[in-house]
Amino acid sequence: MKTGIYYGSTTGNTENAANLICALIGGSQVAPIGDAVRADLEACDLLIFGASTWGLGDLQDDWVDSLASLSGTNLRGKKVALFGLGDQEIYPGTFIDGIKELHDASIEAGATVIGLCSGDDYDFQDSAAFVDNQFLGLPLDDDNQAELTEERIRVWIDQVLEEAK
């Protein structure tokens, strides 16, 4: 299964998580979303997209530029898994909002989104990415819970690889 990990990161947290995910999935490739062309995405069976949230619920800048291109990509038959970096203490009402936009663009491109997560381990008030009592991807909070990030990723990657079979 060809796996590509693409991220948008302003201060490096999402980039670090993307690199860790890449190290855990043998043979996968990782790159900033700004470097990806449509053919790169279409060549993958499993795509893992990561983004942080800025402003008040805004998608990270690099993704804003790439989102229209993503929704126009043909991802029919592909699996997409999402992870989002955010801060549940300072932004409890828009926690990892950005990945909702990645979710919607992936669905528009024809992909199946896997890797949904429970909200039980998080203390937040609201999130656009929390739908039907589940996060649309893996929430990571390096601002308050950096010590949990690696283990959260390990558990989630097992789930994603199982669901991608």
Q: Any contact of residue 9 with ligand FMN (CB under 6 A)?
A: yes
* φ, ψ at 81 (rounded to 5°): -125, 140
Question: Which lies closer to ligand FMN via its Cβ, residue 10 or residue 29?
Answer: 10
Burial class (CB in 10 A: 0-12, 13-18, 19+), 13: buried
Question: Which lies closer to ligand FMN via its Cβ, residue 9 or residue 106?
Answer: 9
Q: Any contact of residue 147 with ligand FMN (CB under 6 A)?
A: no
Q: Any contact of residue 60 with ligand FMN (CB under 6 A)?
A: yes
Query: Looking at 57, 82, 99, 106, which residue binds ligand FMN (CB under 6 A)?
Result: 57
**Which string of b and e fits 113-125 if b means at least 16 CB within 10 Å?**
bbbbbeeeebebe
| Residue 124 half-sphere exposure toward CB, CA atoms < 13 A | 27
In the complex, minimum distance from the CB of residue 51 to ligand FMN, in angstroms, rounded to a whole number? 8
Binding mask 73-112 vs ligand FMN (x if CB under 6 A, - otherwise)?
A: ------------xxx---x--xxxx---------------
Q: Any contact of residue 143 with ligand FMN (CB under 6 A)?
A: yes
- End-to-end CA gap in the chain: 9
* Angstrom distance (rounded) from CA 57 to CA 80: 21
Query: Looking at 70, 142, 152, 164, which residue binds ligand FMN (CB under 6 A)?
Result: 142
* Angstrom distance (rounded) from CA 161 to CA 21: 12
Interface residues with ligand FMN (CB under 6 A)? 9-14, 52-57, 60, 85-87, 91, 94-97, 142-143
